[in-house]
Amino acid sequence: MDDGIRFRRSRTQASDTEVSMEKDVSPKKRGAVARLLDFAGPRKALTYLGCALSAASMLAGFGPYVCIWLVARDLIAAAPDWSAATGIAAYGWWALAFGALSIALYFAGLMCTHLAAFRCASNMRKRAVERLMHASLGYFDSHASGALRRVVDGCAAETEGLLAHKLPDTAGSIAMVVGMLALFFAFDWRLGLACLAPVVLSVCCMARMMSGRGMEFMSRYMESLVKMNKAGTEYVRGIPVVKVFQQTVYSFKAFHDAIREFTVLAQDYAIKWCQVPQSLSLTFINGVALFLVPTAILLAPGEGDFGSFLANFAFYAIFSAVIPTAMTRVMFMSEAAQSAADAITRVEDVLAAPVISAPEHPKAPDGNSVVFDDVSFAYEGTDAPALSHVSFEVPAGATVALVGPSGGGKTTAASLVPRFWDADGGRVLVGGVDVREMDPARPHGPGGVRVSGEPAVQADDS
């Protein structure tokens, strides 16, 4: 070429060098909640305190039921002389005190978990945005802004709900289950087993929904949400075109397909997978009386102290109202835990985005010449290289045309100069200095890179 540009492609095998990228290596073998709490920093302790207060609140909530049983016992023992039951008023005040204590403990526990959850969500967003601010520009070519927004903002919001509400509710539910087991066998173990049977059956139904296939659905569900958010962002950006040409959503096939995929996935899971076990689970936990009453009828004829047996039956009949609340909390916690595990994994993937490495002692370029020295590059997830052992030199001020078919690597070569990506092998030099040895915070080399994809027809002079 007239400008003295030298272009050559070497076919010799060059040694492969990997560009070191700074990544956050997260211990993914740990549980999702443990990894989430790492973002809370010093406020992690507030989460544990909040869960402990929630558990204490649930145990204190058993007090009114015990007081009701004491009232029923005294009334049955004193019948028909009701005036002999002198401790009823005291039991009523004790029930009120237990109820107030339960509310106060739960309120304090939620305050603690909310403080930790807000800090966790805030730090998660800050770290993700900070990582993206230092990520290579090429990363945004392969990751749509809609998908990144869904991860940074949506996933943080999901984990906030888990830590602020679901986690303390789970601690309370565990305390409730332990307390129920203790109370089930504290008064009459036979009636306790009758109340425990529907709980076991309900847990089996929920385990069916949350089995391996259920976990697979949750992963696909979150993936479809990200895909729909990504396609929706692209659709909104194309609204001016829709208005001008009076097109519909069906003109944006990707957005329409994402909506249909999400709809079919949600309907299939709800109807084909969850309908039967969910219906059975709700029937069991809300039908404790179907187990308790027949058991009491069978046991009553053989009871010597019928008054005490009747008081125990009254206690279990009243206390059985707690079972649906406990099981519902456990059910929602299982769903939240699956969502949180998927959310923290996606956030960690963003935190592992490749960043532009900064040298400890950056060098300044001497001029604006560009040299490709045996450069090779392949996009992530592809086997075929986009550039293979490419070498050429462009003096400062020269105009260069890289001519080739679509997908031949012209845009890729231009993107390596401003470090949209870093070469897998070889060197890209600006002013005689490797671009990886320059300060990425300062502009260097050419003032800009313009890539035109306009086709051109050349006449064949031969």
pLDDT in tens, 415-448: 788 877 778 888 888 888 878 778 776 654 444 5
Q: Are residues 219 and 291 both part of a single domain?
A: yes
Q: Is the pLDDT of residue 98 over 90?
A: yes
How large a percentage of the chain has pLDDT more than 70?
79
Q: Are residues 206 and 347 both part of a single domain?
A: yes
Provide the number of structural domains found in the chain: 2
Rounded CA separation 184/191 (Å): 7
Q: Are residues 254 and 214 both part of a single domain?
A: yes
Q: Are residues 15 and 46 both part of a single domain?
A: no
Q: Are residues 323 and 380 both part of a single domain?
A: no
- H/E element holding 54? helix 44-60
Rounded CA separation 237/246 (Å): 15
Q: Are residues 264 and 150 both part of a single domain?
A: yes
Q: Are residues 304 and 340 both part of a single domain?
A: yes
C-beta of residue 340 within 8 angstroms of C-beta of residue 154 = no
Alpha helices in 269-393 (DSSP H): 275-285, 289-299, 306-319, 322-351
Q: Are residues 175 and 247 both part of a single domain?
A: yes
- H/E element holding 436? none
Read off the pLDDT of each residue in 237-264 and give the average, rounded to a whole number: 64
- Domain holding 383, by residue range, is 6-20+359-437
The most confident of the ranges 285-299, 348-362, 404-418 is 285-299
Vertex 423, ends 420 and 429: CA angle to 5°?
85
Rounded CA separation 268/78 (Å): 59
Q: Are residues 286 and 422 both part of a single domain?
A: no
> How is residue 433 written in tokens?
């200095």
Closest listed residue to residue 162, CA positions, set 341, 400, 397, 414: 341
Query: Which residue did the predictor score with more confidence, 336 or 118?
Result: 118
Q: Is the pLDDT of residue 105 over 90?
A: yes
pLDDT at 93: 92
Please report where in the chains the tokens 């007081």 appear, as a residue. Answer: 67
Q: Is the pLDDT of residue 16 over 60?
A: no
Q: Are residues 239 and 314 both part of a single domain?
A: yes
Q: Is the pLDDT of residue 250 over 60?
A: no
Distances (CA, A) of 315 to 6, 101, 174, 308, 452: 93, 21, 21, 11, 81
Q: Is residue 236 part of a domain?
A: yes
Q: Are residues 42 and 181 both part of a single domain?
A: yes
Query: Which residue did the predictor score with more confidence, 374 or 52?
Result: 52
Q: Is the pLDDT of residue 264 over 90?
A: no
Torsion angle defined by CA atoms of residues 169, 174, 175 and 180, in that order, rounded to the nearest 10 degrees: 120
Q: Are residues 116 and 176 both part of a single domain?
A: yes
User: Which CATH number goes with the domain that contains 153?
Assistant: 1.20.1560.10
Q: Is residue 309 part of a domain?
A: yes
> How is residue 402 written in tokens?
């890289």
pLDDT at 321: 76
- H/E element holding 391? strand 387-394
320, 351, 382: which is the final residue of a domain?
Answer: 351
Query: Which residue did the predictor score with more confidence, 262 or 55?
Result: 55
Q: Is residue 25 part of a domain?
A: no
